Structure formats: structure tokens, C-alpha cells
Amino acid sequence: MLSVGIDLVEIDRIEHAMKNPRFCRRVLGAAEFAQLEMRGFPIQSVAASFCAKEAFSKALGTGVRGFELHEVELLRGEDGKPSLHLSGRAFKIAQERKLDFSVSVTHTRAYASAVVIAQEAEQ
């Protein structure tokens, strides 16, 4: 099984949303929040995280239903490679559907984008 989700967002839209102090706490998971906080919450990176959540929901096939956005975290390894960490209902749905995910993100000054590929989990 293979499915793909993609999302694109205008950086200005996320910048506007970040004016609400609750936005990052509501949308970002704890580890994701900590990683972005250490970097000073770069708007392009927050936008890329938001895109990854939306792209995940499309690859999962549910849209943003049945789980909370903060349950899907875009984390970056020491080498900068992005990965998705799932928890709560997002993890449960992915596990029930036997799916693993790969993610790629990019951004410019004006836009951020993410692509998520879902594939059958190895047994």
C-alpha cells in the first residue's frame, strides 16, 4: 500500500496565526515545540511543521479527523533529517492501518511545503 499527501502554506498565514500565543501550544507536540523553541521559533520551520501535519492527514486518508495536530510531530535528527513522530490517536490509526511514513519538507521566504509518503509497515 502506498499513498501520498502534500501540503503548501503561505508563510504569512502562519506568521499571523503565531500572533495568538496559544497557536504553537495547540498545534505542536511537546518535543517538536522544544526543538523549535531552541531555534527561536523560525516562522518557516513552524510553517513546515504545520504542512507536515496536513500532508500526513492526506497520506493517512482521513484528513484532519480522528486525531489532534499536536499528535503528529515533525522532528529533526542531529543531521537535520526530518521524521514524523506519532502519538495518541494519530499513532493508533497509523498502527491499525499498518502504515509507516516518510516526510520531506521545504520552504522559501513566502511558502512552506511538505510531502508525506505512507507505506505498508514492515512486520
Q: Is 16 tagged catalytic?
A: no
Report the length, in residues, of the chain: 123
Radius of gyration of the chain (CA): 14
Which candidate in 16, 19, 53, 58 is catalytic? 58
Sort 23 into a burial class: Cβ within 10 Å, 0-12 / 13-18 / 19+.
middle
Q: Indicate if 107 belongs to the active site.
A: yes
Q: Which residues are catalytic?
A: 58, 107
